[in-house]
A and B are shown apart, each in its own frame.
Chain A
Amino acid sequence: MITVKGLTKRYARTTAVDNISFEVQKGQIVGFLGPNGAGKTTTMRILTCFLPPTSGTANVAGFDVLEQPLEVKKRIGYLPETPPVYPEMETGEYLEFVGSLKGLNGAELRSRIDYVCERCSVADVRNKLIGKLSKGYRQRVGLAQAIIHNPDVLILDEPTAGLDPKQINETRELIRGLAGDHTIILSTHILPEVEQTCEQVIIIAKGKLVATDSVHNLQNRARGGESVLVEVGGRDGTLESTVVQQRLEQVAGVSRVVFKQSRENRSVFEVESLKERVIRGDLARAVVESGWDLNELRPAAMSLEEIFLQLTGADNTAPEAPPAAQPAEELAAKEAE
């Protein structure tokens, strides 16, 4: 549905998007992940024909964004970071305006308005001025606007930014519900969002493509070998965690043991195996044979957060923290707000 090849976008001084290529299949929900200023918005703007690429090609639903922008635009629904709404319009009027811009009219337009109002739960504010709506409603009106012409491709730029937790959940539900009919690209810097809503992840950082894979594969890939959390308890009061650590390190197939925490006479370790070795059985036996209690033994699923930090190489900095080099356009957008 979407094919991007060697896409590059350079501004006067910065390179916002640097030679990225990816493909998105029909009907998928793809998470577009990266820290602020990574080039997410720029890439989306290129896909929606708002910005032309400096080099490379982007093909949406069989049409090139530079060659046939009108055809692409007909097949794309786009929700920018700030919903593009007119505060002086009523919700219904606004949807009618957007719908007719997208080429709908008459009975079809009216039935689509009814449908998207229902779908995005904005039916109750249909006759209210958009300027008087809360942020959550405005976001949903933005979403309604994006799907009004039933586009093949939906591009959503941080659809949950600035919403409260309840609204975030509702919006995610809504997006998941839309997945069947539309191919969706959604950008975010919030990792759980990707884990919850997306099947496929594209990670970019500083304009470069870092990884593209399914959420599941990515978790496996970044981890390499197996990783297990082990909680060991001492039977007779005290437990020397260094002794336990040494014992665990002797188990066959273990590559690394990391001491996590210790409380009273219990200690938790994270044990990593060598590639493609199963160690859980041996670990359990080793603990029990040494006369300790095995309180807990579970595979440590690596969160996307860790993968993300590992892949983007941003040690210690939270993904939310803006990196030093932020493209001018995103800064400008921030200022505008």
Chain B
Amino acid sequence: MRNTLIICRKELRSYFVSPVAYLLLTMFALIFGFFFWNSLRYFVYIGMESQMRGQSFPMNLNEQIIRPLLSNISVVGLFFIPMITMRLFAEEKRTGTIELLATSPIRDIEVILGKWLAAIALYAVMLLFTAINFAFLFHYGNPDWKPMAIGYLGLLLQAGGLLAIGTFISTLTKNQIIAGAATFGVCLMLWVLEWSTGYETATWAKVLAYMSVITHFESFSKGVIDTKDAVFYVTLIFVGLFFTARSMESLRWRS
């Protein structure tokens, strides 16, 4: 546990002393800010419309702003996750510092968990920036915070799974670009798998759709913790970290 925290702290440090973290945070905040501004403007427009026509549309901040935006984050996140994980192991392999970690009295799994936790922590900070936007809604409106919290939990779980996969891919190469591109490809693939249900109802299409990370987010965005979906993400995390551990082990046998 102590070793995991040491590694985690070191990773967070290197995110934040380099421009990496700031760049990611800025871009993410800008993109999300744009999304938020647009959907808020639309919401206000609909509100004025309903007043002018004299009919009252059902207006709900949770349903009309928070929920679609949380879904947006889950997709935008796919693009940022490779940038968070690509350097985790690739960089250590390139500079040879992996030898330091591998010859220190510390277990592989502690190294892996430390790095993965640091990646999640950075992602959580990114989510914090989106929460700042939502905070305004609480000031001017009265949205329900519970479904929102569950939505964030879902985002963290989803990112946890994808970050674990990214961490695994990062152990396969000493080239950050390759690690990043491969992770991006996998993330994208896991997203678009969902489309297969659009025109196909066969079993294989359902299986593919089940494997899509996005479909499992739907229940969370509605504020529902569906065990099935939670289990999916937790499984993804375990599979990713398990493969990372195996890969690190095979590094020694092959190297």
Q: CA of A103 to CA of B104 in the docked complex: distance in angstroms?
A: 9
Q: Which residue of A lies closest to B253 (CB)?
A: A52
With known contacts A52-B252, A97-B10, A73–B107 Cβ distance under 8 A: no
- Do the beta carbons of B100 and A145 come within 8 Å of each other? yes
Residues of A within 8 A of B106 (CB): 73, 101
Q: CA of A82 to CA of B174 in the docked complex: distance in angstroms?
A: 16
With known contacts A97-B6, A329-B255, A84–B95 Cβ distance under 8 A: yes
Q: CA of A80 to CA of B253 in the docked complex: distance in angstroms?
A: 18
Interface residues as binary, A78-90 with B (CB distance below 8 Å gives 1, 0 otherwise): 1011101111110
A-B contact pairs, 10 of them (CB 8 A): A49-B102, A51-B252, A51-B253, A73-B106, A74-B105, A78-B99, A82-B96, A86-B95, A333-B96, A336-B174
Q: CA of A74 to CA of B3 in the docked complex: distance in angstroms?
A: 14
> Whole-angstrom distance from the CB of A147 to the nearest CB of chain B?
14
5 closest residue pairs by CB, A with B: A84-B100, A73-B105, A84-B97, A48-B103, A74-B105
A301, CB-defined interface residue at 8 Å: no
> Whole-angstrom distance from the CB of B19 to the nearest CB of chain A?
11
B94, CB-defined interface residue at 8 Å: yes
> Whole-angstrom distance from the CB of B222 to the nearest CB of chain A?
42
> Whole-angstrom distance from the CB of B99 to the nearest CB of chain A?
5
Q: CA of A277 to CA of B222 in the docked complex: distance in angstroms?
A: 98
> Whole-angstrom distance from the CB of B89 to the nearest CB of chain A?
14
A252, CB-defined interface residue at 8 Å: no
B60, CB-defined interface residue at 8 Å: no
Q: How large is the interface on B (under 10, 10 to 19, 20 to 34, 35 or more residues)?
A: 20 to 34
Q: CA of A52 to CA of B97 in the docked complex: distance in angstroms?
A: 18
A70, CB-defined interface residue at 8 Å: yes
Residues of A within 8 A of B174 (CB): 336
A98, CB-defined interface residue at 8 Å: yes
With known contacts A51-B252, A97-B10, A103–B105 Cβ distance under 8 A: yes
> Whole-angstrom distance from the CB of B10 to the nearest CB of chain A?
5
B202, CB-defined interface residue at 8 Å: no
With A89-B14, A89-B17, A101-B6 given, can you name 16 additional A-B contacts, CB distance below 8 Å? A45-B255, A51-B255, A52-B252, A52-B253, A70-B105, A78-B99, A80-B96, A80-B100, A84-B99, A84-B100, A88-B17, A93-B13, A97-B6, A103-B105, A336-B94, A336-B96
Q: CA of A84 to CA of B100 in the docked complex: distance in angstroms?
A: 6
Q: Identify which of B18, B96, B104 contacts A101 (C-beta below 8 A).
A: B104
Q: CA of A45 to CA of B98 in the docked complex: distance in angstroms?
A: 12
Residues of B within 8 A of A88 (CB): 14, 17-18
- Do the beta carbons of B107 and A76 come within 8 Å of each other? no
B2-21: which residues lie under 8 A (CB-CB) from chain A?
3, 6, 10, 13-14, 17-18
Residues of B within 8 A of A87 (CB): 95
Q: Which residue of A lies closest to B17 (CB)?
A: A88
Interface residues as binary, A312-337 with B (CB distance below 8 Å gives 1, 0 otherwise): 00000000000000000100010010
A100, CB-defined interface residue at 8 Å: yes
Residues of A within 8 A of B95 (CB): 82, 84-87
